[in-house]
Amino acid sequence: MDVSFPPDIETLWHLVAHYSPSGQERAAVDWLVQRFHQLGYTKAMRDQAGNAVGVMGAGPNQIVLLGHIDTVPGEIPLRIAHTPEEGEVLFGRGSVDAKGPLAAFTDAVAAVGPRPGWQFIVVGAVDEERESTGARFIAQQPHYHPAYAIIGEPSHWERVTLGYKGSARARVRLSKPLAHTAAQDLSAAEEACDWWQNLTAAVAEQNQARPRAFDQLQPTLRGLTSGEDGFTQWAELHVGCRLPPDISPAAWYAQMAAISPQAEVMAEGYAIPAYRGEKRTPLTRAFLGAIRQAGGRPGFVVKTGTADLNIVAPRWGCPAVAYGPGDSSLDHTPHEHLPLDHYRRSVRVLQAVLQRLSAG
């Protein structure tokens, strides 16, 4: 592998070079902790959840920059290529989702350095692509009390993400006494298929009054299994759903259960409510000014996925947004790549944001 790279992307290069799918983040975390030390951070450590944590400064006021260091599986050869449309681009798993934003946080804080009265805390959280154990741990620690929070997710360097949809997963089981195949009764598997069709029909009707994708329910059938034990036949569906801000996970589970009294709805994993922040805060104003200063035309977006923003922002109750370089349509794809000009611009934007917020 060609190890030559521009010196101003050293953090990005090495982070992406450390392949770290969820559950295998240790080497990348250890490298990032070492990088914090190299860049002059006040403190650097790996916390009890396995997150990489770097602290710049020692003031009572905090700005937390929370990125994630894990990726989905599927290693992509690390390389820099030149394209006519985007100039120099870095190919590699995690370059967009979301080591690009995390590296930008790391470099921007190092460039700003300590500021009187402030701490800048950069977190490379583990397990975001599964159950977000890293962010859940951070959210429960009392020594995190940020005045502002920035979550590292790709939004293009000119845009700021205000919110993400929620998510909920469930296992739905239908069972009935075993009957002879000559009987006219529907099998449990057929009843499960009917249940799914009835659910999607109800959701389609519900979504007619919700023209924007961010405001719609978006259920997906993730799996269907069936079987019998000689006395009982059963079928199970594994259902996921992206939730809008006005429908909580509990309300969604109740809606699923109402489709059929015979269906047993069992929540799986961690349900996450949707989150949408405010447009007019000191944090958003700082981003708008910084993006313009870097030559961009700023804009706000909301995303139909789910992120660690949903977990920490309600807990901390402070102005919070997601920001980072990269095209989120490349998330989890074999073509994941990040234009280096966009990376450099995002670092400048973050520097200006931190300087503006800590100037008072």
What are the Cα distances from residue 193, in Å, to 142, 188, 202, 226? Answer: 47, 9, 14, 11
Res. 286 pLDDT band, cuts 50 70 90: very high
pLDDT at position 3: 63
Q: Can you tell me the distance from the alpha carbon of 147 to that of 318, in angstroms, rounded to the nearest whole number?
A: 6
Q: Express each pLDDT in 192-202 by its tens digit.
A: 999 999 999 99
- Catalytically annotated residues: 70, 128
Cα Rg of the chain, angstroms = 23
> Per the structure block, which two tokens stand in for 314?
């309600």
Q: Express each pLDDT in 63-98 by its tens digit.
A: 999 999 999 999 999 999 998 889 999 999 999 999
Q: Can you tell me the distance from the alpha carbon of 121 to that of 91, in angstroms, rounded to the nearest whole number?
A: 28
The fold adopted by the segment(s) 166-272 is Alpha-Beta Plaits (3.30.70)
Strands 218-228 and 232-243: antiparallel
Q: What percent of the chain has pLDDT over 90?
A: 92
> Per the structure block, which two tokens stand in for 244?
């809008």
pTM for this prediction: 0.93
Q: At what angle do helices 282-293 and 340-357 cross, to 10 degrees?
A: 130
pLDDT at position 180: 54
Under 8 Å CB-to-CB from 97, ≥6 apart: which residues? 71, 72, 153, 154, 326, 328, 330, 331, 332, 336
Q: Express each pLDDT in 226-254 by its tens digit.
A: 999 878 999 999 999 999 999 999 999 99
- 337-339, strands of its sheet edge to edge: 79-83, 87-91, 337-339
CATH number of 7-164+274-357: 3.40.630.10
SS3 342: helix
Q: Can you tell me the distance from the alpha carbon of 280 to that of 283, in angstroms, rounded to the nearest whole number?
A: 8
Residue type, 280: R
pLDDT at position 137: 98
Residue spans per domain, the chain = 7-164+274-357, 166-272
> Per the structure block, which two tokens stand in for 305?
């996925």
> Per the structure block, which two tokens stand in for 55?
């602290």
